DNA sequence: CCTAGTTGCGTACGACGTACCCAGTTGTCT
DNA sequence: AGACAACTGGGTACGTCGTACGCAACTAGG
Protein backbone atom coordinates (compact mmCIF):
# COMPACT_ATOMS: atom_id res chain seq x y z
CA UNK A 1 0.00 0.00 0.00
CA UNK A 2 2.17 2.82 1.32
CA UNK A 3 2.09 5.98 -0.74
CA UNK A 4 0.26 4.80 -3.78
CA UNK A 5 0.98 5.95 -7.31
CA UNK A 6 3.10 9.08 -7.56
CA UNK A 7 1.48 10.58 -10.63
CA UNK A 8 3.95 13.20 -11.67
CA UNK A 9 2.96 15.65 -14.33
CA UNK A 10 4.79 15.56 -17.61
CA UNK A 11 6.28 18.93 -16.70
CA UNK A 12 8.38 17.45 -13.94
CA UNK A 13 10.12 15.02 -16.28
CA UNK A 14 13.20 16.63 -17.86
CA UNK A 15 13.50 16.42 -21.60
CA UNK A 16 16.89 14.74 -21.74
CA UNK A 17 20.05 13.87 -19.95
CA UNK A 18 23.47 14.19 -21.46
CA UNK A 19 24.80 10.70 -21.99
CA UNK A 20 23.87 8.89 -25.19
CA UNK A 21 23.61 9.99 -28.82
CA UNK A 22 21.99 13.32 -29.55
CA UNK A 23 18.20 12.97 -29.85
CA UNK A 24 16.95 13.49 -33.38
CA UNK A 25 13.75 15.24 -32.34
CA UNK A 26 12.31 17.22 -29.43
CA UNK A 27 9.10 17.36 -27.42
CA UNK A 28 8.19 20.61 -29.11
CA UNK A 29 8.62 19.10 -32.56
CA UNK A 30 6.54 16.08 -31.67
CA UNK A 31 3.87 18.23 -30.02
CA UNK A 32 3.64 20.45 -33.06
CA UNK A 33 3.38 17.52 -35.43
CA UNK A 34 0.63 16.04 -33.27
CA UNK A 35 -1.28 19.32 -33.23
CA UNK A 36 -0.95 19.62 -36.99
CA UNK A 37 -2.49 16.19 -37.50
CA UNK A 38 -5.19 16.69 -34.86
CA UNK A 39 -6.16 20.02 -36.40
CA UNK A 40 -6.49 18.44 -39.82
CA UNK A 41 -8.01 15.05 -39.07
CA UNK A 42 -9.11 14.99 -35.45
CA UNK A 43 -7.46 13.92 -32.24
CA UNK A 44 -7.96 10.24 -32.89
CA UNK A 45 -6.01 10.56 -36.13
CA UNK A 46 -3.03 11.79 -34.15
CA UNK A 47 -1.93 8.28 -33.29
CA UNK A 48 1.59 7.51 -32.28
CA UNK A 49 2.19 5.74 -35.58
CA UNK A 50 0.84 8.61 -37.62
CA UNK A 51 2.81 11.26 -35.74
CA UNK A 52 5.96 9.18 -36.07
CA UNK A 53 5.37 8.64 -39.78
CA UNK A 54 4.94 12.39 -40.25
CA UNK A 55 8.30 12.93 -38.59
CA UNK A 56 9.83 10.14 -40.66
CA UNK A 57 10.52 7.76 -37.79
CA UNK A 58 9.03 4.74 -36.02
CA UNK A 59 6.18 4.81 -33.54
CA UNK A 60 8.20 3.57 -30.63
CA UNK A 61 10.78 6.29 -31.02
CA UNK A 62 8.29 8.79 -29.65
CA UNK A 63 8.32 7.04 -26.30
CA UNK A 64 11.88 8.25 -25.79
CA UNK A 65 10.43 11.75 -25.51
CA UNK A 66 6.98 11.28 -24.00
CA UNK A 67 5.87 8.67 -21.45
CA UNK A 68 2.44 8.07 -22.99
CA UNK A 69 -0.04 9.45 -25.46
CA UNK A 70 -2.02 11.04 -22.63
CA UNK A 71 1.00 13.04 -21.61
CA UNK A 72 1.52 14.10 -25.18
CA UNK A 73 -2.05 15.39 -25.23
CA UNK A 74 -1.31 17.40 -22.11
CA UNK A 75 1.62 18.97 -23.95
CA UNK A 76 -0.65 19.73 -26.87
CA UNK A 77 -3.15 21.54 -24.66
CA UNK A 78 -0.50 23.75 -23.11
CA UNK A 79 0.99 24.49 -26.49
CA UNK A 80 -2.42 25.57 -27.80
CA UNK A 81 -3.05 27.83 -24.79
CA UNK A 82 0.07 29.72 -25.74
CA UNK A 83 -1.88 31.16 -28.65
CA UNK A 84 -4.20 33.15 -26.40
CA UNK A 85 -3.51 36.78 -27.22
CA UNK A 86 -4.02 38.54 -23.89
CA UNK A 87 -2.35 41.74 -22.61
CA UNK A 88 -0.27 41.70 -19.45
CA UNK A 89 -2.81 43.43 -17.24
CA UNK A 90 -6.44 44.56 -17.24
CA UNK A 91 -7.15 47.68 -19.29
CA UNK A 92 -9.71 49.16 -16.90
CA UNK A 93 -12.66 48.30 -19.12
CA UNK A 94 -13.83 45.01 -17.63
CA UNK A 95 -16.37 44.43 -20.34
CA UNK A 96 -13.82 44.75 -23.12
CA UNK A 97 -11.37 42.55 -21.22
CA UNK A 98 -13.84 39.74 -20.66
CA UNK A 99 -14.88 39.99 -24.31
CA UNK A 100 -11.24 39.58 -25.26
CA UNK A 101 -10.95 36.43 -23.19
CA UNK A 102 -14.14 34.98 -24.62
CA UNK A 103 -13.25 35.67 -28.24
CA UNK A 104 -9.72 34.39 -27.76
CA UNK A 105 -10.99 31.19 -26.24
CA UNK A 106 -13.38 30.74 -29.13
CA UNK A 107 -10.68 31.43 -31.70
CA UNK A 108 -8.23 28.96 -30.17
CA UNK A 109 -10.88 26.26 -29.78
CA UNK A 110 -12.07 26.68 -33.34
CA UNK A 111 -8.49 26.52 -34.58
CA UNK A 112 -7.88 23.39 -32.51
CA UNK A 113 -11.25 21.71 -32.43
CA UNK A 114 -9.92 18.68 -30.58
CA UNK A 115 -9.71 20.88 -27.46
CA UNK A 116 -13.46 20.58 -27.03
CA UNK A 117 -13.39 16.80 -26.99
CA UNK A 118 -10.89 16.25 -24.20
CA UNK A 119 -12.17 13.90 -21.56
CA UNK A 120 -10.71 16.08 -18.82
CA UNK A 121 -11.04 19.83 -18.38
CA UNK A 122 -7.33 20.05 -17.51
CA UNK A 123 -7.53 22.75 -14.89
CA UNK A 124 -3.93 22.36 -13.76
CA UNK A 125 -2.22 25.56 -12.69
CA UNK A 126 0.41 25.83 -15.39
CA UNK A 127 2.01 29.23 -15.99
CA UNK A 128 -0.20 29.98 -18.97
CA UNK A 129 -3.38 29.18 -17.10
CA UNK A 130 -2.24 31.37 -14.22
CA UNK A 131 -1.54 34.33 -16.48
CA UNK A 132 -5.03 34.02 -17.94
CA UNK A 133 -6.52 33.73 -14.47
CA UNK A 134 -4.78 36.90 -13.30
CA UNK A 135 -6.06 38.82 -16.28
CA UNK A 136 -9.63 37.61 -15.90
CA UNK A 137 -9.91 38.22 -12.17
CA UNK A 138 -8.07 41.50 -12.48
CA UNK A 139 -10.59 42.65 -15.06
CA UNK A 140 -13.55 41.73 -12.86
CA UNK A 141 -12.03 43.34 -9.77
CA UNK A 142 -14.59 46.13 -9.59
CA UNK A 143 -15.83 45.69 -6.08
CA UNK A 144 -17.49 42.33 -6.59
CA UNK A 145 -16.82 39.92 -3.69
CA UNK A 146 -14.13 37.38 -4.54
CA UNK A 147 -16.53 34.44 -4.19
CA UNK A 148 -18.89 36.03 -6.68
CA UNK A 149 -16.04 36.65 -9.08
CA UNK A 150 -15.31 32.94 -9.01
CA UNK A 151 -18.84 32.03 -9.96
CA UNK A 152 -19.27 34.82 -12.51
CA UNK A 153 -16.18 33.63 -14.35
CA UNK A 154 -17.39 30.04 -14.18
CA UNK A 155 -20.61 31.30 -15.70
CA UNK A 156 -18.86 33.20 -18.47
CA UNK A 157 -16.43 30.42 -19.31
CA UNK A 158 -19.21 27.88 -19.07
CA UNK A 159 -21.25 29.78 -21.61
CA UNK A 160 -18.31 30.23 -23.97
CA UNK A 161 -17.20 26.63 -23.84
CA UNK A 162 -20.71 25.28 -24.24
CA UNK A 163 -21.51 27.40 -27.28
CA UNK A 164 -18.17 26.76 -28.95
CA UNK A 165 -18.52 23.05 -28.32
CA UNK A 166 -21.83 23.23 -30.13
CA UNK A 167 -20.27 25.14 -33.01
CA UNK A 168 -17.53 22.58 -33.34
CA UNK A 169 -19.92 19.67 -33.30
CA UNK A 170 -22.05 21.34 -35.94
CA UNK A 171 -19.06 21.88 -38.21
CA UNK A 172 -17.91 18.31 -37.74
CA UNK A 173 -21.31 16.96 -38.60
CA UNK A 174 -21.52 19.12 -41.71
CA UNK A 175 -18.08 17.97 -42.80
CA UNK A 176 -18.49 14.26 -42.26
CA UNK A 177 -21.93 14.08 -43.79
CA UNK A 178 -20.73 16.26 -46.68
CA UNK A 179 -23.86 18.38 -46.38
CA UNK A 180 -24.45 22.07 -46.63
CA UNK A 181 -26.61 23.68 -43.95
CA UNK A 182 -29.39 24.04 -46.51
CA UNK A 183 -29.32 20.37 -47.42
CA UNK A 184 -29.30 19.49 -43.74
CA UNK A 185 -32.32 21.71 -43.19
CA UNK A 186 -34.21 19.97 -45.96
CA UNK A 187 -33.14 16.57 -44.79
CA UNK A 188 -34.23 17.03 -41.19
CA UNK A 189 -37.40 18.87 -42.08
CA UNK A 190 -39.68 15.79 -41.96
CA UNK A 191 -38.60 14.87 -38.42
CA UNK A 192 -38.99 18.46 -37.25
CA UNK A 193 -42.41 18.68 -38.90
CA UNK A 194 -43.44 15.47 -37.21
CA UNK A 195 -42.47 16.97 -33.85
CA UNK A 196 -44.32 20.18 -34.59
CA UNK A 197 -47.44 18.39 -35.81
CA UNK A 198 -47.59 16.28 -32.66
CA UNK A 199 -48.44 19.48 -30.81
CA UNK A 200 -46.62 18.28 -27.74
CA UNK A 201 -43.68 20.63 -28.02
CA UNK A 202 -44.97 24.21 -27.93
CA UNK A 203 -41.70 25.78 -26.78
CA UNK A 204 -39.73 23.90 -29.42
CA UNK A 205 -42.24 25.24 -31.91
CA UNK A 206 -41.66 28.81 -30.74
CA UNK A 207 -37.91 28.33 -31.14
CA UNK A 208 -38.33 27.05 -34.67
CA UNK A 209 -40.88 29.69 -35.68
CA UNK A 210 -39.92 32.85 -33.79
CA UNK A 211 -36.25 32.70 -32.81
CA UNK A 212 -33.91 34.77 -34.97
CA UNK A 213 -30.69 33.65 -33.29
CA UNK A 214 -30.42 30.33 -35.14
CA UNK A 215 -30.49 32.14 -38.47
CA UNK A 216 -27.54 34.37 -37.69
CA UNK A 217 -23.96 33.52 -38.51
CA UNK A 218 -21.99 31.67 -35.86
CA UNK A 219 -20.03 34.82 -35.02
CA UNK A 220 -23.17 36.88 -34.62
CA UNK A 221 -24.77 34.22 -32.45
CA UNK A 222 -21.74 34.06 -30.23
CA UNK A 223 -21.43 37.82 -29.99
CA UNK A 224 -25.11 38.31 -29.23
CA UNK A 225 -25.15 35.70 -26.49
CA UNK A 226 -21.88 36.96 -25.06
CA UNK A 227 -23.32 40.46 -24.78
CA UNK A 228 -26.32 39.07 -22.93
CA UNK A 229 -24.05 37.25 -20.49
CA UNK A 230 -22.03 40.42 -19.96
CA UNK A 231 -25.30 42.29 -19.36
CA UNK A 232 -25.98 39.80 -16.60
CA UNK A 233 -22.58 40.41 -15.07
CA UNK A 234 -23.12 44.15 -15.33
CA UNK A 235 -26.45 43.81 -13.56
CA UNK A 236 -24.91 42.40 -10.39
CA UNK A 237 -22.06 44.92 -10.36
CA UNK A 238 -22.06 47.17 -7.25
CA UNK B 1 -21.48 10.38 -56.15
CA UNK B 2 -25.23 10.73 -55.97
CA UNK B 3 -26.68 11.48 -52.55
CA UNK B 4 -23.78 10.75 -50.28
CA UNK B 5 -24.17 9.30 -46.84
CA UNK B 6 -27.71 9.33 -45.46
CA UNK B 7 -26.85 9.92 -41.82
CA UNK B 8 -30.14 9.67 -40.01
CA UNK B 9 -30.32 9.88 -36.25
CA UNK B 10 -30.73 6.64 -34.35
CA UNK B 11 -34.18 7.82 -33.32
CA UNK B 12 -35.53 7.49 -36.82
CA UNK B 13 -34.49 3.86 -37.13
CA UNK B 14 -37.28 1.60 -35.83
CA UNK B 15 -36.30 -1.04 -33.35
CA UNK B 16 -37.56 -4.00 -35.36
CA UNK B 17 -39.79 -5.20 -38.10
CA UNK B 18 -42.01 -8.23 -37.80
CA UNK B 19 -40.53 -10.90 -40.02
CA UNK B 20 -37.83 -13.11 -38.58
CA UNK B 21 -37.38 -14.79 -35.20
CA UNK B 22 -38.17 -12.81 -32.09
CA UNK B 23 -35.11 -10.82 -30.95
CA UNK B 24 -33.58 -12.10 -27.75
CA UNK B 25 -32.74 -8.64 -26.45
CA UNK B 26 -33.81 -5.05 -26.89
CA UNK B 27 -32.17 -1.68 -27.31
CA UNK B 28 -33.20 -0.78 -23.78
CA UNK B 29 -31.55 -3.90 -22.33
CA UNK B 30 -28.35 -3.26 -24.25
CA UNK B 31 -28.35 0.40 -23.30
CA UNK B 32 -28.82 -0.42 -19.64
CA UNK B 33 -26.01 -2.98 -19.68
CA UNK B 34 -23.72 -0.45 -21.33
CA UNK B 35 -24.58 2.19 -18.75
CA UNK B 36 -23.97 -0.25 -15.92
CA UNK B 37 -20.47 -0.97 -17.21
CA UNK B 38 -19.68 2.66 -17.98
CA UNK B 39 -20.78 3.72 -14.49
CA UNK B 40 -18.53 1.14 -12.90
CA UNK B 41 -15.44 1.20 -15.10
CA UNK B 42 -15.68 4.18 -17.42
CA UNK B 43 -17.00 4.66 -20.90
CA UNK B 44 -14.03 3.04 -22.61
CA UNK B 45 -14.70 -0.16 -20.65
CA UNK B 46 -18.15 -0.36 -22.23
CA UNK B 47 -16.86 -2.00 -25.39
CA UNK B 48 -19.10 -3.99 -27.67
CA UNK B 49 -17.41 -7.22 -26.56
CA UNK B 50 -17.80 -6.41 -22.87
CA UNK B 51 -21.43 -5.40 -23.19
CA UNK B 52 -22.20 -8.54 -25.21
CA UNK B 53 -20.39 -10.72 -22.69
CA UNK B 54 -22.42 -9.16 -19.88
CA UNK B 55 -25.60 -10.06 -21.74
CA UNK B 56 -24.30 -13.55 -22.47
CA UNK B 57 -24.02 -13.15 -26.21
CA UNK B 58 -21.50 -12.34 -28.95
CA UNK B 59 -20.25 -8.93 -29.85
CA UNK B 60 -21.68 -8.93 -33.35
CA UNK B 61 -25.18 -9.67 -32.14
CA UNK B 62 -25.41 -6.13 -30.79
CA UNK B 63 -25.22 -4.78 -34.31
CA UNK B 64 -28.67 -6.23 -34.94
CA UNK B 65 -30.00 -3.63 -32.54
CA UNK B 66 -27.67 -0.68 -32.94
CA UNK B 67 -25.88 0.51 -36.08
CA UNK B 68 -22.67 1.48 -34.30
CA UNK B 69 -21.13 2.12 -30.93
CA UNK B 70 -21.56 5.86 -31.40
CA UNK B 71 -25.27 5.37 -31.79
CA UNK B 72 -25.34 3.22 -28.69
CA UNK B 73 -23.68 6.06 -26.78
CA UNK B 74 -26.38 8.37 -28.04
CA UNK B 75 -28.96 5.97 -26.64
CA UNK B 76 -27.08 5.89 -23.35
CA UNK B 77 -27.17 9.67 -23.08
CA UNK B 78 -30.88 9.83 -23.68
CA UNK B 79 -31.50 6.96 -21.29
CA UNK B 80 -29.54 8.74 -18.57
CA UNK B 81 -31.60 11.85 -19.19
CA UNK B 82 -34.61 9.71 -18.30
CA UNK B 83 -33.47 9.87 -14.70
CA UNK B 84 -34.06 13.59 -14.61
CA UNK B 85 -36.88 14.01 -12.16
CA UNK B 86 -38.80 16.82 -13.77
CA UNK B 87 -42.53 17.54 -13.56
CA UNK B 88 -44.62 17.60 -16.71
CA UNK B 89 -44.96 21.36 -16.87
CA UNK B 90 -43.53 24.49 -15.29
CA UNK B 91 -44.79 25.21 -11.79
CA UNK B 92 -44.98 28.97 -12.19
CA UNK B 93 -41.91 29.60 -10.06
CA UNK B 94 -39.17 29.91 -12.68
CA UNK B 95 -36.42 30.12 -10.12
CA UNK B 96 -37.44 26.88 -8.45
CA UNK B 97 -37.85 25.19 -11.82
CA UNK B 98 -34.42 26.17 -13.08
CA UNK B 99 -32.92 25.10 -9.76
CA UNK B 100 -34.59 21.75 -10.22
CA UNK B 101 -33.06 21.35 -13.65
CA UNK B 102 -29.60 22.33 -12.43
CA UNK B 103 -29.61 20.01 -9.44
CA UNK B 104 -31.00 17.15 -11.48
CA UNK B 105 -28.35 17.63 -14.11
CA UNK B 106 -25.68 17.59 -11.45
CA UNK B 107 -27.10 14.46 -9.83
CA UNK B 108 -27.34 12.58 -13.11
CA UNK B 109 -23.84 13.59 -14.21
CA UNK B 110 -22.35 12.57 -10.89
CA UNK B 111 -24.15 9.23 -11.11
CA UNK B 112 -22.97 8.74 -14.71
CA UNK B 113 -19.62 10.44 -14.79
CA UNK B 114 -18.94 9.33 -18.37
CA UNK B 115 -21.48 11.98 -19.46
CA UNK B 116 -18.90 14.67 -18.84
CA UNK B 117 -16.31 13.05 -21.05
CA UNK B 118 -18.29 12.70 -24.25
CA UNK B 119 -16.39 14.02 -27.24
CA UNK B 120 -19.57 15.59 -28.55
CA UNK B 121 -22.21 17.50 -26.62
CA UNK B 122 -24.84 15.28 -28.23
CA UNK B 123 -27.47 17.90 -28.68
CA UNK B 124 -29.57 15.52 -30.74
CA UNK B 125 -33.27 15.83 -30.25
CA UNK B 126 -34.04 12.57 -28.51
CA UNK B 127 -37.42 12.31 -26.79
CA UNK B 128 -36.08 12.94 -23.31
CA UNK B 129 -34.00 15.92 -24.40
CA UNK B 130 -37.14 17.40 -25.90
CA UNK B 131 -39.10 16.94 -22.71
CA UNK B 132 -36.39 18.69 -20.74
CA UNK B 133 -36.21 21.46 -23.29
CA UNK B 134 -39.93 22.04 -23.01
CA UNK B 135 -39.74 22.27 -19.25
CA UNK B 136 -36.76 24.62 -19.22
CA UNK B 137 -38.12 27.03 -21.81
CA UNK B 138 -41.57 26.83 -20.30
CA UNK B 139 -40.15 27.84 -16.93
CA UNK B 140 -38.28 30.81 -18.37
CA UNK B 141 -41.29 31.96 -20.41
CA UNK B 142 -41.87 35.07 -18.32
CA UNK B 143 -41.78 37.69 -21.02
CA UNK B 144 -38.13 37.29 -21.93
CA UNK B 145 -37.59 37.34 -25.72
CA UNK B 146 -37.11 33.87 -27.13
CA UNK B 147 -33.58 34.66 -28.34
CA UNK B 148 -32.59 35.75 -24.85
CA UNK B 149 -34.10 32.60 -23.39
CA UNK B 150 -31.80 30.61 -25.63
CA UNK B 151 -28.72 32.38 -24.38
CA UNK B 152 -29.78 32.47 -20.74
CA UNK B 153 -30.25 28.71 -20.78
CA UNK B 154 -26.91 28.25 -22.51
CA UNK B 155 -25.44 30.33 -19.72
CA UNK B 156 -27.12 28.34 -16.98
CA UNK B 157 -26.32 24.97 -18.50
CA UNK B 158 -22.82 26.11 -19.31
CA UNK B 159 -22.25 27.02 -15.68
CA UNK B 160 -23.70 23.76 -14.40
CA UNK B 161 -21.79 21.55 -16.81
CA UNK B 162 -18.52 23.35 -16.23
CA UNK B 163 -18.70 23.10 -12.46
CA UNK B 164 -19.82 19.48 -12.49
CA UNK B 165 -17.09 18.60 -14.96
CA UNK B 166 -14.64 20.03 -12.46
CA UNK B 167 -16.19 18.04 -9.63
CA UNK B 168 -15.96 14.85 -11.63
CA UNK B 169 -12.35 15.42 -12.58
CA UNK B 170 -11.50 16.18 -8.98
CA UNK B 171 -13.11 12.95 -7.79
CA UNK B 172 -11.37 10.96 -10.49
CA UNK B 173 -8.02 12.39 -9.55
CA UNK B 174 -8.59 11.71 -5.87
CA UNK B 175 -9.58 8.16 -6.67
CA UNK B 176 -6.74 7.24 -8.97
CA UNK B 177 -4.07 8.89 -6.87
CA UNK B 178 -5.57 7.36 -3.73
CA UNK B 179 -5.30 10.67 -1.88
CA UNK B 180 -7.62 12.38 0.53
CA UNK B 181 -8.31 16.08 0.02
CA UNK B 182 -6.23 16.86 3.12
CA UNK B 183 -3.24 14.95 1.82
CA UNK B 184 -3.58 16.66 -1.52
CA UNK B 185 -3.64 20.05 0.21
CA UNK B 186 -0.45 19.25 2.08
CA UNK B 187 1.16 17.85 -1.03
CA UNK B 188 0.50 20.91 -3.16
CA UNK B 189 1.18 23.47 -0.44
CA UNK B 190 4.85 24.08 -1.38
CA UNK B 191 3.96 24.87 -5.00
CA UNK B 192 1.17 27.21 -3.91
CA UNK B 193 3.48 28.96 -1.43
CA UNK B 194 6.06 29.39 -4.15
CA UNK B 195 3.46 31.07 -6.36
CA UNK B 196 2.32 33.35 -3.53
CA UNK B 197 5.87 34.29 -2.54
CA UNK B 198 6.71 35.26 -6.10
CA UNK B 199 4.27 38.14 -5.72
CA UNK B 200 3.35 37.92 -9.38
CA UNK B 201 -0.13 36.52 -8.85
CA UNK B 202 -2.08 38.98 -6.68
CA UNK B 203 -5.51 37.75 -7.75
CA UNK B 204 -4.57 34.14 -7.17
CA UNK B 205 -3.38 35.24 -3.74
CA UNK B 206 -6.72 36.83 -2.98
CA UNK B 207 -8.50 33.63 -4.01
CA UNK B 208 -6.32 31.56 -1.72
CA UNK B 209 -6.50 34.00 1.20
CA UNK B 210 -9.97 35.54 1.06
CA UNK B 211 -12.28 33.23 -0.86
CA UNK B 212 -14.59 31.14 1.29
CA UNK B 213 -16.13 29.19 -1.59
CA UNK B 214 -13.27 26.68 -1.99
CA UNK B 215 -13.67 25.66 1.64
CA UNK B 216 -17.31 24.75 1.34
CA UNK B 217 -18.58 21.29 0.47
CA UNK B 218 -19.13 20.53 -3.22
CA UNK B 219 -22.89 20.80 -2.76
CA UNK B 220 -22.65 24.17 -1.03
CA UNK B 221 -20.28 25.50 -3.69
CA UNK B 222 -22.65 24.41 -6.41
CA UNK B 223 -25.68 25.83 -4.65
CA UNK B 224 -24.02 29.17 -3.92
CA UNK B 225 -22.84 29.64 -7.50
CA UNK B 226 -26.16 28.53 -8.88
CA UNK B 227 -27.95 31.16 -6.80
CA UNK B 228 -25.62 33.83 -8.15
CA UNK B 229 -26.35 32.71 -11.72
CA UNK B 230 -30.07 32.80 -11.02
CA UNK B 231 -29.64 36.30 -9.56
CA UNK B 232 -28.17 37.26 -12.91
CA UNK B 233 -31.11 35.81 -14.76
CA UNK B 234 -33.48 37.59 -12.39
CA UNK B 235 -31.72 40.88 -13.07
CA UNK B 236 -32.53 40.83 -16.78
CA UNK B 237 -36.13 39.77 -16.26
CA UNK B 238 -38.68 42.28 -17.57
C1' DC C 1 39.68 2.83 -23.86
C1' DC C 2 35.94 1.03 -21.37
C1' DT C 3 31.34 0.85 -20.10
C1' DA C 4 27.00 2.71 -18.53
C1' DG C 5 23.39 5.14 -20.16
C1' DT C 6 20.76 6.50 -23.88
C1' DT C 7 19.37 6.53 -28.70
C1' DG C 8 16.25 4.88 -32.85
C1' DC C 9 13.27 1.46 -33.98
C1' DG C 10 11.44 -3.42 -35.28
C1' DT C 11 8.53 -6.97 -33.47
C1' DA C 12 4.73 -8.56 -30.84
C1' DC C 13 0.60 -8.62 -27.82
C1' DG C 14 -3.88 -7.86 -26.49
C1' DA C 15 -7.30 -4.82 -26.96
C1' DC C 16 -10.69 -2.27 -30.06
C1' DG C 17 -14.87 -1.41 -33.82
C1' DT C 18 -16.99 -3.72 -37.25
C1' DA C 19 -17.43 -6.01 -42.39
C1' DC C 20 -18.75 -10.26 -43.91
C1' DC C 21 -20.66 -14.74 -43.82
C1' DC C 22 -23.72 -18.50 -42.74
C1' DA C 23 -27.10 -21.37 -40.49
C1' DG C 24 -31.33 -21.11 -38.21
C1' DT C 25 -36.18 -18.95 -37.43
C1' DT C 26 -40.50 -17.00 -38.69
C1' DG C 27 -44.21 -14.03 -40.91
C1' DT C 28 -46.48 -13.67 -45.39
C1' DC C 29 -47.92 -15.12 -49.80
C1' DT C 30 -49.23 -18.57 -53.18
C1' DA D 1 -49.01 -26.96 -47.06
C1' DG D 2 -45.09 -25.29 -49.15
C1' DA D 3 -41.98 -21.54 -50.62
C1' DC D 4 -39.52 -17.73 -49.80
C1' DA D 5 -38.12 -13.30 -48.08
C1' DA D 6 -36.72 -11.01 -44.16
C1' DC D 7 -35.01 -11.37 -40.25
C1' DT D 8 -32.15 -13.59 -36.20
C1' DG D 9 -27.69 -14.97 -33.33
C1' DG D 10 -23.05 -15.22 -33.65
C1' DG D 11 -18.28 -16.89 -35.42
C1' DT D 12 -14.27 -15.43 -38.03
C1' DA D 13 -11.30 -11.99 -39.76
C1' DC D 14 -9.24 -7.43 -40.87
C1' DG D 15 -7.17 -3.28 -39.91
C1' DT D 16 -6.53 -0.22 -36.37
C1' DC D 17 -4.80 1.24 -31.76
C1' DG D 18 -1.35 1.99 -27.39
C1' DT D 19 2.64 0.24 -25.81
C1' DA D 20 6.01 -3.67 -23.45
C1' DC D 21 10.20 -5.51 -24.71
C1' DG D 22 14.58 -6.21 -26.83
C1' DC D 23 18.55 -5.08 -29.47
C1' DA D 24 22.21 -2.77 -32.12
C1' DA D 25 24.33 1.74 -32.54
C1' DC D 26 26.15 5.64 -30.39
C1' DT D 27 28.35 8.84 -27.03
C1' DA D 28 29.85 10.86 -22.66
C1' DG D 29 32.39 10.29 -18.02
C1' DG D 30 35.84 7.51 -15.62
A61-94 pLDDT, tens digit per residue, is 999 999 999 999 999 998 998 999 999 999 999 9
Cβ–Cβ < 8 Å for B6, B67? no
The answer to whether the Cβ–Cβ distance between B161 and A160 falls below 8 Å is no
Higher pLDDT, B126 or B5: B126
How many angstroms separate the CA of residue A105 from the nearest CA in chain B? 15
Domain covering A21-78, topology: Arc Repressor Mutant, subunit A (1.10.10)
The confidence band for A133, taking pLDDT boundaries of 50, 70 and 90, is very high
The confidence band for A17, taking pLDDT boundaries of 50, 70 and 90, is low
- Best residue in A151, A152, A156 to probe B by mutation, most B CBs within 10 Å? A151
Euclidean distance between CA atoms B68 and B145, whole angstroms: 40
The answer to whether the Cβ–Cβ distance between A155 and B207 falls below 8 Å is no
Statement: the CB of B22 is under 7 Å from strand C: yes
Q: What is the mean pLDDT of residues B105-113?
A: 97
Chain A's closest residue to B158, CA to CA, is A158
Higher pLDDT, A222 or A19: A222
Domain with residues A83-235, CATH architecture: Orthogonal Bundle (1.10)
Cβ–Cβ < 8 Å for B144, B238? yes
- Alpha-helical runs (H) found in chain B: 27-41, 48-55, 69-81, 94-111, 127-139, 146-177, 181-198, 202-210, 218-235
Domain with residues B94-235, CATH architecture: Orthogonal Bundle (1.10)
| Intervals of CATH 1.10.357.10 along chain A | 83-235
Print burial letters for A166-199: b (CB count within 10 Å at least 16), e (below 16): bbbbeebeeeeeebeeeeeeeeeeeeeeebeeee
The confidence band for B3, taking pLDDT boundaries of 50, 70 and 90, is very low
| Intervals of CATH 1.10.10.60 along chain A | 21-78
Chain B's closest residue to A114, CA to CA, is B119
Statement: the CB of A20 is under 7 Å from strand C: yes
The answer to whether the Cβ–Cβ distance between B212 and A178 falls below 8 Å is no
The confidence band for A226, taking pLDDT boundaries of 50, 70 and 90, is very high
Pick A154's closest partner by Cβ from B5, B162, B169.
B162
Domain with residues B10-78, CATH architecture: Orthogonal Bundle (1.10)
Chain A's closest residue to B88, CA to CA, is A200
pLDDT digits over B20-57, tens only?
Answer: 777 889 999 999 999 999 999 999 999 999 999 999 99
Pick A203's closest partner by Cβ from B133, B160, B177.
B133
Amino acid sequence: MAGGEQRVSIWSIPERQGRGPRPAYSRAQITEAAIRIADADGLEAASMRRIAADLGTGAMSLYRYVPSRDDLIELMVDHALLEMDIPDGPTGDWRADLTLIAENTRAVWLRHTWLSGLDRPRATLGPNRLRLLEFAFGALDTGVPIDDMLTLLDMLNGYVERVVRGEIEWRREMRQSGMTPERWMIHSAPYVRELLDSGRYPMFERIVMDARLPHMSAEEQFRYGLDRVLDCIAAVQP
